[in-house]
Amino acid sequence: MSERQITATVGLSFVNGIGPKMLEKLVDRFDNPEDILNASVDELCKIPRLTSKIAEAIHAIDLEAIEMELMALEEFGITVITRYDKSYPKNLKTISDLPPVLFQMGDFREEDNRAAAIVGTRNPSQGGRKMAKELAYGLAERGFTIVSGLALGIDTASHQGALEADGRTIAVLGSGIKIIHPNQNLGLAEQIRQSGAIFSELHPNARPSGGTLMSRDRIISGLALGTIIVEANENSGSIDTAKRTRAQGRKLFAVANESKGNQKLIDEGAYTISDITTASLNQISEILTMTRIETSDDSQMSLF
């Protein structure tokens, strides 16, 4: 994919109303991101659900301005990858609503596809926090990259556990990559950048919202072979991550505790984690490695 096509893809991803599925429709119709920008309003509006307002926003994309913005991001150590790049995470490439563009700090490696997501409440019990850290530590020792969302509570403990094991960890933000949220985790984010990667699908200066925090759940689960819910309320973001995990065909685990969300997940058939022992960690590892993810290249990859 040429630099110009990458820039066009980034520009399209910034347009309100163009999500992963809409961008896929556009590429299917016009073959090339640059051709989309050059299409007439009438041609664009033939795409189902693409309004004249969206078409006009596409015409207003300033490639030169975006190129300058991407160059400025590089000075901050931020790179951009698109769904068409070989460096795009293989596990994520298989989900139906994959982010077309990812902004990245740090280093994503091939080995990071052997990943486990660990998530839970921002207000955990002392036991839940300890459980998250021990799970992350034990799985990192067994060669798994730990994926979480950099939130306070369980997410923070999960990242810390992986780092304490000298393992790798990935944080997925619900904000732009230049807006580390929460700011209490700025130091942790820097550690993650040095021992893994930080991803965001949003404009680099985007502020977090309930919608963006929920949307990133599919990326957390999509990067991993399976997800462990440590502590969760019944209608929490972690339960949304669990739903997405199942929809993506990944393994789902829940720690046995008094959390209503966890109890419901276990009742619905999630693998149950009762304690942390060498045997239980080995069993979790075995179940995760049973996950089969089709990683054949996207049919559109050959277009570029």
127 and 224 in a single domain? The answer is yes
For residue 50, what are the domain limits?
A: 1-75
Question: Are both 152 and 66 inside the same structural domain?
Answer: no
Given a cut of 70, whether residue 302 has pLDDT beyond it is: no
Sorted by sequence, the CB contacts under 8 Å of residue 123 that are 6+ apart come out as 153
Residue 44 and residue 158 share a domain: no
Output the CA–CA distances (angstroms, integers) from residue 239 to 21, 83, 120, 226, 246, in the order listed: 24, 27, 9, 14, 11
Query: Cα 56 from chain centroid?
Result: 29
Which of 48, 75, 102 marks a domain boundary?
75
In a domain, 301, yes or no: no
| 103 closest CA partner among 218, 186, 14 | 14
Q: Domain check: are 118 and 49 in the same one?
A: no
Predicted model pTM: 0.93
Reported as a pLDDT band with limits 50, 70 and 90, residue 292 is confident
| Residue 167 resides in a domain | yes
SS (H, E, C) 164-215: HCCCCEEEECCCCCCCCCCHHHHHHHHHHHHCEEEEECCCCCCCCCHHHHHH
Report d(CA 304, CA 302) in Å as an integer.
5
Map tokens 């664009």 to a residue: 44
- Yes or no: say if 36 and 26 are a contact pair by the CB < 8 Å rule: yes
Q: Render pLDDT for 25-60 as a digit per residue (tens, 0 to 9).
A: 998 999 889 999 999 999 999 999 999 999 999 999
Peptide bond into 48 cis (omega under 30): no
Total domains present in the chain? 2
Q: Are residues 26 and 123 in the same domain?
A: no
- Residue closest to 270 by CA, chosen among 216, 223, 227: 227
Query: Which of helix, strand or coil describes residue 5?
Result: helix
Residue 93 lies in a domain: no
Q: What is the pLDDT of residue 31?
A: 81
For residues 187 and 233, state if they share a domain. Answer: yes
Asked whether residue 119 falls in the same domain as residue 239, the answer is yes
Q: Is residue 94 part of a domain?
A: no
Indicate if the alpha-carbon torsion angle 59, 60, 63, 67 is positive or negative.
Answer: negative
Task: Assign residue 55 the CATH number of its domain.
Answer: 1.10.150.20
| CATH code, 137 | 3.40.50.450
253 Cβ contact list (under 8 Å, min separation 6): 226, 227, 228, 229, 270, 271, 272, 273, 284, 287
pLDDT band at residue 285 using 50, 70 and 90 as cut-offs: very high
Q: For residue 105, tell me if it sits in a domain.
A: no
301: which residues sit within 8 A by CB, 6+ positions away? 84
Residue 226 inside a domain? The answer is: yes
- Does residue 21 lie within any of the structural domains? yes
In the three-class reduction of DSSP (H, G, I as helix; E, B as strand; rest coil), residue 147 is classed as strand
Half-sphere exposure of residue 5, counting CA atoms within 13 Å on the CB side? 16
Q: What is the pLDDT of residues 66-113, one digit of tens each?
A: 999 999 999 999 999 999 899 999 999 999 999 999 999 999 999 999
Spatial distance between the Cα atoms of 121 and 93, rounded to a whole number of angstroms:
27
- pLDDT for residue 303: 31
Last residue of a domain, one of 55, 75, 95: 75
Specify whether 119 is located in the same domain as 268: yes
Which of 22-36, 258-272, 278-292 is least confident? 22-36
User: Is 226 within 8 Å of 288 (Cβ atoms)?
Assistant: yes
With respect to residue 102, please indicate whether it lies within any of the assigned structural domains. Answer: no
